[in-house]
Every structure is written in structure tokens, then in C-alpha cells.
Amino acid sequence: MLDRIKASLPSLAPAEQRVGKLVLQDPRSFASLPVSELSERAHVSKPTVVRFCRSMGYDGLSDFKLKLAGTVSEGVPFIHRSVDVDDKVGDVLVKVIDNTVAAFLKYRNDASTHSIERAVTALLDTYQNRGRIEFFGAGNSGIVAQDAQHKFFRLGINAIAYSDGHMQVMSASLLRPGDCVVIISNSGRTRDLMDAADIARKHGAMVIVITASGSPLAQAGHIHLAADHPEGYDRYSPMTSRLMHLMVIDVLATCLALRIGGAQLQPLLKEMKNNLRSKRYA
């Protein structure tokens, strides 16, 4: 959460930057002080403190302080450790799992439920209005986009995934108001994805981005779902960010399934499972 605030500071208004710096200086105090004292310490108005919390994707000051308190008090019981060329199998096993668990717990503490709620609502509106839902990603993120399409497809939702930059630009050009595109990127700096996001917005489609805070892509979408995890490219490193993106997609798909309702989905999923039984050995 603190890393995300630090990364987002340059994109905030000057007054909100002062609130963000106050959080970074002493997060424990920020989580416990009343809004009047917070505004006085940051030399801003009380509404500015609340506005900063909402700019970071939270419902308001109470929601922000609750997540902040959880971050500074609970922390993460594992630290990121890069694998080395001379690591034994047991060392690699422990490091890969610990890094993944640490990233997941950090996301649980930092995630903005407000942003996720907005994303689920946008996807549900598109589904109910029979709009197009598309997933864009490049490289590893392209695999995540395909996984997302598969998860939504199983819910009876007409979705499609593209990992080719030309196809993304072409498809974005065909989007219209009422459609929704989810763009996934670890760096948030891939030119093809930025181009697709700009075109989709120009044509009135809802743009949801799953990417790093403070990146150009994070600013290009209507809704930003922060997924912050550093990757070490100078040595052997598992792509924990890809697993985090898959988890975010799981959260969206699960929430959307609950919104659609079991009465509609259960018969569909049951029939699908029955039809698949003939494809398996007894």
C-alpha cells in the first residue's frame, strides 16, 4: 500500500501530494489520528484528505485508514528473495512459494475494494446490456488475458482475448459505448496496450486496467486495479506478477458470478460439467 502511494504521488494534485507524504512519513499515526489533525499536519483542508483517499481508490478516509492499519500492523511474514544459480531444489521451492505468498498477502492488504467494486459493476452492466467484453495483454499478460476469457466464457459471458498488438488496435477501433475492455500489463508501459487503451476510450468504451501504480497505463483507464510487484530481470526470477494478475481476474470473475446469480449460472455449469464427463476416462 505504501509503495503504491509513493508511486502515485507524481500524478496527484499538489495538496493531495502533501497528504500522501504525510502517510509515508508516519503511517501508524495517520491511521489513528482524526481528520482535523491530519489536515492540520498536511496543511490542507479536511475535504482534501478525503479526496486523497478516494484518489487512491478507497471509499473514503475510514476505508483508507482501515487498510492502512492492517498494512502497518500485520505486515507480510515473508520477504522477497531472488533465486540464485547455485540454489538447491529445496531452496528454490521455498523462495518461489514464499515470494508468491508474500505478494498475495500484500495485495490482500493493499487492494482497493472500491476500485474492484467499480470494475465488477462495469462488467456486469456490459454483460446485462449485451455489450462486448474484451481482454488485452502482451507477452505473459497475454496469457492472463486468455485465462480471463476462459473464466468468463465458462460463466456464459461472450468475451474475447487478444495478445497481438495489431488485433488489439483493430478491435479497440470497433468498440462502442456500452462495451468494456480489460487491459493487463505488469509494466504499464507497453506501447501497443497504451494505443489500444486510448482508442477504446476515444470510442466511448469502458477501460479497466490491471497494472502497476504510477505507470502511464494506470492513468489511461477509467478504472485502475493496482497490481504492484517488483520483478528482477537481472537474474532468474519467477513471474509472480503474472500469478497476481491471475488472482485479480479470479476475484473479478467470482464477484461477477455472484452478481449474475446462482439461479442463472448453476444449471449452465452443471450441464457443462455433465457434457464434459464423456471426454474423460472412467
State pLDDT tens for residues 129-186: 999 999 999 998 999 999 999 999 988 898 999 999 999 999 999 999 999 999 999 9
Low-confidence ranges of the chain (pLDDT < 50): 75-79, 233-235
Q: Output the pLDDT for position 76.
A: 46
- All three cell numbers of 125, joined, read 452492466
